[in-house]
């Protein structure tokens, strides 16, 4: 299956660190790339817009220095997640900044990637589109993207209910290009399983929230370590789209999704809280089940690269032996 040239030979494992609102800031992105996996961030994390340009310059400088100092283990390329939706007032300005900086990988979400594909291909960059069902995948494929990111059930952030097992195989019926699979992937065994399903890369979010370099609060990181899958609630009441939230973060603000109407526009109207979704009400994927520590990104990647190699060495099931 096709791995773009720009992503060959530079990775410790076939992994993309997924973009996360209020979590993926330059220290996390740089640490991911230096550890040998693709680091990404949502453009809207850089606020105001001028900061977006500063972050890109900062990352380019830091990663170039790493490449000079460690030619034996070059930094992986980085990527930016652009929210393509027409309601995003920053889209045009930030797309110009992406083009000026020739960002190697652009991940689009929430809209048609057509304009982005033309502009990014013109300078030789790659465009991957985030999709949560086969219908969206078909549209993105027709727009000429280089890769599809399919996020299955159990993911952190907005997540569908369709299982990854089903989604990857459904998309593979019509897409033979690069495919990235996300949702509850935390370790090298799962990365290898994603490949066995037909994906080329794994997309990992929640695991990297609980890393030293993430911008999440210490409280959020601790809650990830202390919570299990039973502490998650899947609801569309808080952001209009199905999402797994950490119950303890809702409880401390007196928010109970069961009592909220669909697409709750402003929690303060319905409850006493000034809490905001994402900032105070936290999300996590089912991968929370195996998060027990908050190591450095380099530590997480070293561990998963070793697991990945072990998983690659595993042959067919002993059940097949005579």
Ligand X SMILES: Cc1cc2nc3c(=O)[nH]c(=O)nc-3n(C[C@H](O)[C@H](O)[C@H](O)COP(=O)(O)O)c2cc1C
* CB nearer to ligand X: pick between 125 and 182: 182
The reply to whether 81 sits near ligand X by the rule CB under 6 A is yes
178 within 8 A of 14, measured Cβ to Cβ: no
The reply to whether 19 sits near ligand X by the rule CB under 6 A is yes
- Cα separation, 267 vs 214, whole angstroms: 27
Give the one residue of 11, 20, 59, 267 binding ligand X; rule: CB under 6 A.
Answer: 20
Give the one residue of 116, 205, 227, 308 binding ligand X; rule: CB under 6 A.
Answer: 205
Q: Closest distance between ligand X and the C-beta of residue 184, in Å?
A: 5
The reply to whether 206 sits near ligand X by the rule CB under 6 A is yes
The structure tokens listed for 204 are 């990992």
The reply to whether 188 sits near ligand X by the rule CB under 6 A is no
Helix (H, G, I), strand (E, B) or coil at 6: helix
Report H helices in the chain: 26-35, 49-69, 91-101, 114-122, 134-142, 164-172, 188-197, 206-209, 218-226, 247-251, 267-270, 297-312
CA–CA distance from 137 to each of 16, 119, 133 (Å)?
19, 20, 6
The reply to whether 109 sits near ligand X by the rule CB under 6 A is yes
CA–CA distance from 85 to each of 88, 91, 223 (Å)?
6, 8, 32
The reply to whether 151 sits near ligand X by the rule CB under 6 A is yes
Q: Which residues are paired to 130 by β-bridges?
A: 149
Angle at 144 between CA 155 and CA 51, to 5 degrees: 60
Give the one residue of 155, 179, 250, 311 binding ligand X; rule: CB under 6 A.
Answer: 155
Tell me the site size for ligand X, rule CB under 6 A.
Answer: 25
Binding residues for ligand X restricted to 289-308, rule: CB under 6 A:
none
The reply to whether 35 sits near ligand X by the rule CB under 6 A is no
The reply to whether 156 sits near ligand X by the rule CB under 6 A is yes
Query: Which residues lie below 8 Å from residue 68, measured CB to CB, with a gap of 6+?
Result: none
The reply to whether 211 sits near ligand X by the rule CB under 6 A is no
The reply to whether 18 sits near ligand X by the rule CB under 6 A is yes
The reply to whether 62 sits near ligand X by the rule CB under 6 A is no
Binding site for ligand X (CB under 6 A): 18-21, 23, 42, 81, 109, 130, 151, 155-157, 182-185, 203-206, 209, 283, 285, 287
């Amino acid at each position: 299956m096709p791995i773009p040239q720009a992503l060959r030979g530079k990775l410790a494992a076939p992994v993309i660190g997924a973009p996360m609102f209020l979590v993926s800031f330059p220290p996390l992105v740089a640490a991911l790339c230096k550890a040998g996996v693709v680091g990404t961030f949502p453009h809207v994390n850089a606020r105001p817009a001028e900061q977006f340009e500063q972050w890109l310059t900062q990352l380019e400088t830091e990663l170039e220095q790493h490449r000079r100092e460690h030619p034996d283990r070059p930094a992986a390329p980085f990527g930016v997640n652009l929210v393509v939706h027409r309601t995003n007032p920053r889209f045009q300005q930030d797309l110009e900044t992406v083009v000026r900086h020739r960002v190697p990988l652009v991940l689009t979400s929430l809209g048609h990637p057509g304009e982005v594909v033309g502009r990014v291909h013109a300078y030789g960059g790659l465009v991957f589109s985030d999709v949560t069902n086969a219908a969206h995948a078909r549209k993105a494929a027709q727009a000429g993207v280089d890769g599809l990111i399919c996020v299955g059930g159990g993911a952190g952030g907005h997540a569908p209910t369709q299982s990854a097992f089903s989604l990857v195989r459904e998309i593979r019926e019509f897409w033979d290009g690069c495919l990235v699979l996300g949702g509850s992937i935390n370790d090298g065994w799962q990365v290898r399983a994603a490949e066995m399903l037909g994906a080329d890369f794994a997309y990992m979010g929640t695991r990297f929230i609980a890393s030293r370099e993430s911008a999440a609060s210490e409280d959020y990181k601790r809650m990830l370590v202390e919570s299990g899958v039973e502490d998650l609630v899947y609801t569309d009441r808080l952001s209009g789209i199905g999402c797994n939230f950490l119950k303890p973060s809702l409880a401390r603000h007196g928010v109970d999704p069961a009592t909220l109407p669909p697409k709750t526009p402003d929690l303060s109207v319905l409850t006493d809280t000034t809490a905001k979704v994402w900032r105070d009400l936290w999300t996590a994927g089912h991968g929370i089940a195996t998060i027990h520590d908050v190591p450095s990104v380099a530590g997480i990647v070293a561990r998963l690269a070793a697991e990945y190699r072990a998983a690659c060495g595993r042959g067919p099931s002993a059940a097949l032996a005579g």
